[in-house]
Structure 1
Amino acid sequence: MVAAVRGAAACLVMKWSTALAMTRAMTWTTVLVWALLLGSRVATAEPAPQLQLTGLSEARLVTNVGLTVPRINFSCQASTAQLRRYLAAAREAAAEALQAFGHFNATIRPSIETREDCRDPALAIEAGPVTTIESVTIELPETVRQIESVSEFVANQRPSVGDPLDQAAYDALRDGILGRVQKAGYLDARYTRHELIVDPSTQSARIALSLEAGSRYRFGEVTIEQSILEPELARRLTGVPEGAPYTSRDLLAMNQNLTSTAYFESVSVRPILEERENLEVPVEISTYRNPRTSYELSAGYATDVGPRVGAEVTRRYVNKQGHQWSARSELSAIEQRLETSYT
């Protein structure tokens, strides 16, 4: 009987070993087949034309040109005429990409390069001398110069004479000044002059900005969507009175002041700029209230009283006057405490 069992076990082991060996063989065969298929696919993939850029050494110039030139959407069988049309567009785009960093006298030579069974468009580029800033004129009204965010921004971002021209930096300077002036309440501010004049013959550039601020706006009517407090109380909780000078900083303060109370779970403040008139900006505030009542349980241990448990109930708003009530109790073997408050 034992021999029969042992024989059956040996047979089972043999069959299992054979099956395992067959599985391994099939696994390696499958891997080999997939490898051959993938290798065949890679080997038989058709070549594609690539734009060849030579002559540039600065990484930022190479990157900007590469991001600006049009994508290649033709195959290696493209005609010479199609390649030339692409090169004309790529040459123009490359020139604009170089001008963004002050290179207005670049030399760009297009050509068609042949490799194996494909032809590539190519641009040989000499960036040439960089244009430098000859003069910077920024004219701002006195009221605007007194705005701290504006004066600090201009002091930090104003380019110096002799700096290489960077058109992105000029755009950031122009837009940054106007944006900060408008956030300070001068919503109708505009440039009467904003110029970047480049003279390629002398590799020089002149910057001129003149801003007209207009009148400063004030906060107008503030509408708060809520039903748990008296409207005037909710209005006072914003911390910004009607008629105060309009600033984006005070819009944020309104949100933070209301959110920091126990009444509201979330707050959204939106100025209705399209309805501003008489130098006043109406504001709309939407709220989502907190649950009226909260409960809290606690447990702990203290060396003086031993184990203790506690419970607290808070009524966040009792009435429309914003009154709040809470009760807190602590129980231990030697001490019982109950505290209540109404504010």
Structure 2
Amino acid sequence: MQVSSKGVLDGLVLTANRVVTGVTLWGAATGCVWAADPQPYVTHLESSGQADLDAALKSSSDLLNLQATHAVGPFALAGRVRSEYDRLRSALESYGYYEGTVQISLHRAKEKDAVVVDGTSPALSDWLNGVPAGEKVTADITVKKGPLYHLGSVTVVDPKTNAPVSLTEAQQTAFGLKTGQDAVAQAVLGSGGSLLDVWREEGHALAQVDKPRAYLKPQTHTLDIVYPASAGPVLNIGVIDVDGLKRVHESFVRRRMTVQEGQLYQPSKIEAARQDLSSLGVFSNVAVKDGSTKPVNGTMPLDFTFKEAKRRSVGAEAGYSTDLGARVGATWTHYNILGNAERLKLTALITGLGGSAQQGLGYDVYADFMKPDFYSRNQNLSARVEALRQLFWSYRQTAFLVNAGITRKIDKHWNVNFGLAAEQEKIEQFNVSRDYTIISAPLGATFDNTGVGNPIEPALHGVRASINATPSVSLGNKGSGTSFFAILNASASTYFDLAHLGLSKPGRSIIALRGMIGSIQGASTYDIPPDQRMYAGGSATVRGYRWQGVGPQYGRTRYAIGGTSLDAGTIEYRQRLFKSFGMAGFVDAGQVGSSSMPFTGTLRVGAGGGVRYYTPIGPVRVDIAVPLNRAYRGDKWDLYIGLGETF
């Protein structure tokens, strides 16, 4: 007879005779008793000797999976037992065992007599009704695999003509089915999807792959497969329809699209275009589908549908460390201010609340503007106007800054940036005030293959690196002369998952390494404005030392001079615990020198650890660090609280 298989083999038509097995019932009725309702029971599933098959059997067994969470009465339990056969046989068939048998034995611990009945017999319910209340029933399941079936003939046919379909080498490789391989359902059913994917990627927009037919041959223990499939014509992308735009300009969306009319129809590139539009941050949903069920002048139209996100948001910003103190403030963001996904963000912060490196309260107020696709795709314009006041022990600064720059994506991992910046500031250091006007032209490049788009989300693998050069001129103002200098720095971090060594589960145990190096060329320390010099100490370089606490100091005081070279490194171990918690341990080391050559000065080392609480937007970090060879007696320990990892 022909029967339709269940579960993972749904859709295969099988020709076979099934072996019907019975239920062995241990124990006879001994009189009138009150039956249990619900009837407690425990299930023992004997191993088949094949780990992956055992996992499938356990997953398929309702007797096993529902015994603790879905208690039922005797009648319903009898139904669960009877339906167990089909579930377990489906699991056997999914691994190529089409002659496997299943035996279920039910018994009570106090009874020894055995009665054998068919699995569908009413005697099963009667026996369960005779089990006294409070007594558990044990269900022993034994599975015999039988012979392993292999694939016999494998044929792809046209569903209309039933004529064989010829596949190219690439299509056959994607299809993957070959005579003689194990008749595993996942491979059989998955091959159709793989063939459909490769056809569509070759431009066959209307390719069709139906569910396969399978024919059992018990005499040879083989399974013949017939796949109805049709490639259809090769099509290009036709008219692209855009719907749902309200405040985002359609012209911008069409310029942004990475697929165009007349291009070969390829689902991977269409999906990449959809994801790229989603990444703009102005849409809550972007969907794309074929615009027709048949070719239109040799093309396939596409329908893009957009749902715009809220244009504005208000947020709060906060952080704390014992050296820089607390910083609190608010942000307001408009995500589409001119209709082309331009973003304007306004931020106002109060800084220096109680920090050991601070002499008092400061502020940081700025406006950020970003325009995507500035004169070219993958080229963004960013600009900032900022006013700030910082009252460090090293210097007291009041400044107004303006900068603008262009960031260009040159491939999947590399970005380059260049721009101009101007700063007018007044700096008081050691009771001497000087005014500076600084003009600079920063240049840089970054590399990132960690695959993490959100900067707050921890990286688990890959490398991040950057290199920057900032030619600058400090124009002569009151109390200061004119100087020319160039700030050069580079940094890199990498992340290694211990799962690669078999020591943990993926993403649970990470070793993170960071290194940085910097040099200022063209001027000596005192010819450079204090805020342009190099400093170390704090969460960005060497934890355990206060902000700007590493490098040349005035004696053993908290007054930092700064330097013209820097190098620092970190090794950090991150361990995730449970679902939402984690911990970290780290060692930082760094030095700042008065020479323009790095690796000079006094090396300072800090160490510490912390805890993490993982939220949907990133981990909340709490770290404590201590200096191992402190220079200033006030440096004893530091506490850092923030969102996201330090690097």
TM-score (norm 2): 0.35
Match of 2:260 in 1: 241
Q: Is it true that 1:290 corresponds to 2:290 in the alignment?
A: no
Q: Deviations over 1:221-272 (max 9, x none)?
A: 342736565x556523324322323222332443466578xxx544554324
User: Which residue identity lines up with residue 78 of structure 1 in the other structure?
Assistant: P
Q: Deviations over 1:205-228 (max 9, x none)?
A: 122334212232523134273656
The correspondence for 1:280, drawn from 282, 295, 300, is 300
Match of 1:24 in 2: none
Q: How does 1:168-187 map to 2 (within 5 A)?
A: 168-182=186-200, 184-187=202-205
Match of 2:208 in 1: 190
Work out whether residues 200 and 265 of structure 2, in 8 Å CA contact, stay in contact via their aligned partners in 1.
no
CA distance in 2, matches of 1:184, 1:311: 50
CA separation of 1:227 and 1:172: change in aligned 2, threshold 3 A: same
Where 2:205 maps in the other structure, the secondary structure is coil
Where 1:245 maps in the other structure, the secondary structure is coil
The correspondence for 1:121, drawn from 139, 159, 173, is 139
The correspondence for 2:58, drawn from 41, 66, 73, is 66
CA separation of 1:179 and 1:256: change in aligned 2, threshold 3 A: closer
Q: Is it true that 1:211 corresponds to 2:233 in the alignment?
A: no
CA separation of 1:190 and 1:119: change in aligned 2, threshold 3 A: same
User: Which residue identity lines up with residue 74 of structure 2 in the other structure?
Assistant: A
Where 2:186 maps in the other structure, the secondary structure is helix
CA distance in 2, matches of 1:65, 1:183: 36
Q: How does 1:93-104 map to 2 (within 5 A)?
A: 93-104=87-98
Q: Deviations over 1:24-58 (max 9, x none)?
A: xxxxxxxxxxxxxxxxxxxxxx9821233336222
Query: How far has the Cα of 1:186 moved from its partner?
Result: 2.9
Match of 1:164 in 2: 182
User: Which residue identity lines up with residue 102 of structure 2 in the other structure?
Assistant: I
TM-score (norm 1): 0.61
Q: Is it true that 1:53 corresponds to 2:146 in the alignment?
A: no
CA distance in 2, matches of 1:98, 1:259: 43
User: Which residue identity lines up with residue 96 of structure 1 in the other structure?
Assistant: S
5+ residue gaps, structure 1: 1-45, 301-306, 316-325
CA separation of 1:74 and 1:291: change in aligned 2, threshold 3 A: closer
CA distance in 2, matches of 1:64, 1:141: 34
Q: Is it true that 1:312 corresponds to 2:403 in the alignment?
A: yes
5+ residue gaps, structure 2: 1-37, 111-134, 158-163, 309-335, 345-367, 370-383, 391-396, 407-418, 426-434, 442-647
Query: How far has the Cα of 1:105 moved from its partner?
Result: 1.2
Where 1:57 maps in the other structure, the secondary structure is coil
Q: How does 1:112-151 map to 2 (within 5 A)?
A: 112-116=106-110, 117-138=135-156, 145=168, 151=170
CA distance in 1, matches of 2:400, 2:192: 63
Where 1:220 maps in the other structure, the secondary structure is strand
The correspondence for 2:99, drawn from 93, 99, 105, is 105
User: Which residue identity lines up with residue 177 of structure 1 in the other structure?
Assistant: L
Where 2:154 maps in the other structure, the secondary structure is strand
Match of 1:10 in 2: none
CA distance in 1, matches of 2:80, 2:385: 71
Q: Deviations over 1:187-208 (max 9, x none)?
A: 3222378322222332111223
Q: Is it true that 1:91 corresponds to 2:184 in the alignment?
A: no
Higher relative contact order, structure no. (Cα contacts within 8 Å, ≥ 6 residues apart):
1
Query: How far has the Cα of 1:96 moved from its partner?
Result: 1.8
Query: How far has the Cα of 1:94 moved from its partner?
Result: 1.7
Q: Which has the higher strand share?
A: 2
Work out whether residues 158 and 173 of structure 1, in 8 Å CA contact, stay in contact via their aligned partners in 2.
yes
Instruction: Note the aligned Cα RMSD (angstroms).
Output: 4.2
CA separation of 1:270 and 1:86: change in aligned 2, threshold 3 A: closer
CA distance in 2, matches of 1:165, 1:121: 30
CA separation of 1:335 and 1:108: change in aligned 2, threshold 3 A: closer
Work out whether residues 46 and 142 of structure 2, in 8 Å CA contact, stay in contact via their aligned partners in 1.
yes
Rg: which structure is higher?
Answer: 1
Query: How far has the Cα of 1:182 moved from its partner?
Result: 3.6
Match of 1:329 in 2: 422
Count of residues in Structure 1 that have an aligned counterpart in Structure 2: 266
Work out whether residues 150 and 183 of structure 2, in 8 Å CA contact, stay in contact via their aligned partners in 1.
yes
Where 2:204 maps in the other structure, the secondary structure is coil
